Structure 1
């Protein structure tokens, strides 16, 4: 069903009644909207009984000032429109709510700190596609009648009361905030009461990902040998099998807290700890001593123990790949981008926060020690692996995801391995933000939100 994009014009309340809409005659004919009859106007969770008046030679929508205020929109807002005959409902939208971790009201130009520019990019892209977007934090939840205190952008940022959205993009960067009872209650209620959709609804733990994907025979070729580190027996077993193993915090990100264990001499083992200044190394005479040293950390941090891989490198600096996969306008997984990431000097993780650098897949492979025979189809194979893993996550983990950051690696024999899956991929990691430029990843997110909401 086509959903035309129309401009909303706000008229003084003295001129127009609250329960009257004025709509272009051609738009009404196209959407088969009856004139002078009681219909339900819907905008997110907002509903009101209205009558529609046809206006010749006009292709927009006019509403009263007080109705616009209750909807949280201003004049000149472009929106998609849809009429459902069965329920006599005229829907405007989609209303997209982006749930972010924090706001800085004392900084009117940058109310969301470092992600404000991404939020502006989203606003521009939504206007282009006829979607309405606002941004809110867990503190903005819990208003009257399910309303939300959120931020909109129109010639500057403004905080206002808004209806609950049709679609929520959960961009919370803290498990503590995500698990807040008020947040979980709100997300549950809008799904149940308003049929809202929430995507990227939860963080992924490393152990959860590898355990779930391990059950899928078609994905096992991508999975390094991985187990939850529960005791010394598990450590000893893995270290007897592999010359290098990694201990990864189950809930870590940005390469924080990863420990690399490698043999040092006959009995000894060396542990390398990631720090902001580079890897810090400590040698232990035997495995038992090493386990004693890390068992204190295990009281507060759960670790995944994983076989070490011989990754391709450039001059000794390991290279891996970050794929951004997203659901598209028809709800199918697609690869939006894949970039190569080379670790900084003195680091064995490639995150930008640790001094890593970005390059295209082709350039990363060209400067690496990957054998020539494996280079030609490396990009296509990484692409296929990212899609296979995205579908696997969707099949085996009971949660709704619309985009995933998938960290992949190539070993020196050309085999692809999965390193990690991130359900809250950073918007600054893959492609640089440029003022005024809308990235494909942002456009795709809105297209998927439109698909979910029927607009």
Structure 2
């Protein structure tokens, strides 16, 4: 079996020039690397013609400090290696760049704030799998598209110059940052110039998702009636058709700005607004009065109208489910985790930011108001729906996604409904409750998918 991992040592002197490296004889034999011929040495976007010096009984690779510095390496590393004889290219990697929203250079112990632990977890997982990871923000992107300044970890966090990654995982949490012209230009250039793979490359909005999935016959059964709120007649029709209607900001997150409208027996409409401390209720005599009250907001906020559902409940509190689906080492969608989210006592949404509580799916279903038959079928239905929807997004939305947070609901009869698809799933919401491992499955899978994309 060919060894794909190699221990890379940096020799602490300049005796080894930057156009040469030492490699154990076994690696040359296994990979059939010809001796005495220069090869292209590749690490992300970094390329250098080098001479390979075979060394008997060396179980690894040695490089000089100048070459290491140009690669962004500041010490020993274990990386994956492959050799392509057609192009005479010896590659190390994969090099993974993680695009994050902000950094705090003055706080060396926590340079990425609340996601610092996640970033360190990713570093540890990459070491185990033989990958190299760095972290950068839109502010690190300059005029150069051959290298950039980024954060790496080696006994502590440091900023250093690194080559462009083989794979970039876009974990930006701000649409404004994502749409910066300088960043979009950079991403377009590196995809074209180095064939860098970029996944989770953009935010999804609710209208885009529902409009796209309507074209998929295999997913259609999961979709509640949903439309962009464009005028009064649409609002009037939805409020007449359903006892409950939700208005959700098309680009909202964490349950912010959601309005639940319920129709009273006397025809009045009751609007319940989410607030940081609970809910605020307003009553309107007619749909016309309600629309008039929204007209000011409609100038700046676009709303998706959605059919209200009679959700499964636990102790009279509505429950929904967050599934994390990821592409695996074979490039196919798989279900990584799924958790139930029970709404807080003062809220009608289940987000953790609004007082929601996580629960294992089996516990929530067992304690719910579903019938016995519906309880038996529920977990399997949720899992199938999550994978069906992920494949539907892949098919009908022209962008590259490697992980999705899919919010699902069960109604009182046990039918599965889609609530929302999130292309930037929060690590807080997706953490499996029995997280007794130091490295979560979701982190391992992200690296395995990066390896799949790059052939490592």
Quote the residue 2:343 is aligned against.
343
Quote the residue 1:448 is aligned against.
449
Quote the residue 2:401 is aligned against.
401
TM-superposed CA distance for 1:436, in Å, is 7.2
Quote the residue 1:324 is aligned against.
324
**1:163-198: CA deviations, max 9, x gaps?**
000000000001111111111111111111111100
Quote the residue 1:306 is aligned against.
306
Q: Give the Cα separation in 2 of the matches to 1:144 and 1:264.
A: 61
TM-superposed CA distance for 1:3, in Å, is 6.1
Q: Give the Cα separation in 2 of the matches to 1:342 and 1:2.
A: 49
**1:65-96: CA deviations, max 9, x gaps?**
01101100122211100101000000110000
Q: Give the Cα separation in 2 of the matches to 1:352 and 1:393.
A: 25
TM-superposed CA distance for 1:427, in Å, is 1.2
Q: Give the Cα separation in 1 of the matches to 2:447 and 2:218.
A: 31
Say whether 1:45 aligns with 2:45: yes
Q: Give the Cα separation in 2 of the matches to 1:310 and 1:435.
A: 35
Q: Give the Cα separation in 2 of the matches to 1:399 and 1:380.
A: 28
The total of aligned residue pairs comes to 455
Quote the residue 1:155 is aligned against.
155
Quote the residue 1:83 is aligned against.
83
Q: Give the Cα separation in 2 of the matches to 1:35 and 1:156.
A: 38
Q: Which runs of 5+ in 1 are unaligned?
A: none
Q: Secondary structure at the match of 1:377?
A: helix
Check 1:23–1:350 CA distance in 2 against 1; reply closer, same or farther (3 A cut).
Answer: same
Say whether 1:242 aligns with 2:242: yes
Q: Which runs of 5+ in 2 are unaligned?
A: none
TM-score computed with the length of structure 1 as normaliser: 0.98
Q: Give the Cα separation in 1 of the matches to 2:358 and 2:118.
A: 19
Say whether 1:295 aligns with 2:301: no
TM-superposed CA distance for 1:2, in Å, is 5.3
Q: Secondary structure at the match of 1:12?
A: coil
Q: Give the Cα separation in 2 of the matches to 1:17 and 1:259.
A: 66
Verify the 8 A CA contact 1:141 1:147 in the aligned structure 2.
no
Q: Give the Cα separation in 2 of the matches to 1:360 and 1:192.
A: 44
TM-superposed CA distance for 1:282, in Å, is 0.7
Quote the residue 2:74 is aligned against.
74
Quote the residue 2:230 is aligned against.
230
| Higher mean C-alpha deviation, range 6-15 or range 207-216 | 6-15
Quote the residue 2:166 is aligned against.
166
Quote the residue 1:283 is aligned against.
283
**1:291-334: CA deviations, max 9, x gaps?**
11111111100000010000001122100000000000010000
Q: Give the Cα separation in 2 of the matches to 1:215 and 1:312.
A: 27
Quote the residue 2:61 is aligned against.
61
Q: Secondary structure at the match of 2:291?
A: helix
Q: Secondary structure at the match of 1:185?
A: helix
| Higher mean C-alpha deviation, range 33-42 or range 194-203 | 33-42
RMSD over aligned Cα atoms: 1.3
Q: Give the Cα separation in 1 of the matches to 2:452 and 2:382.
A: 27
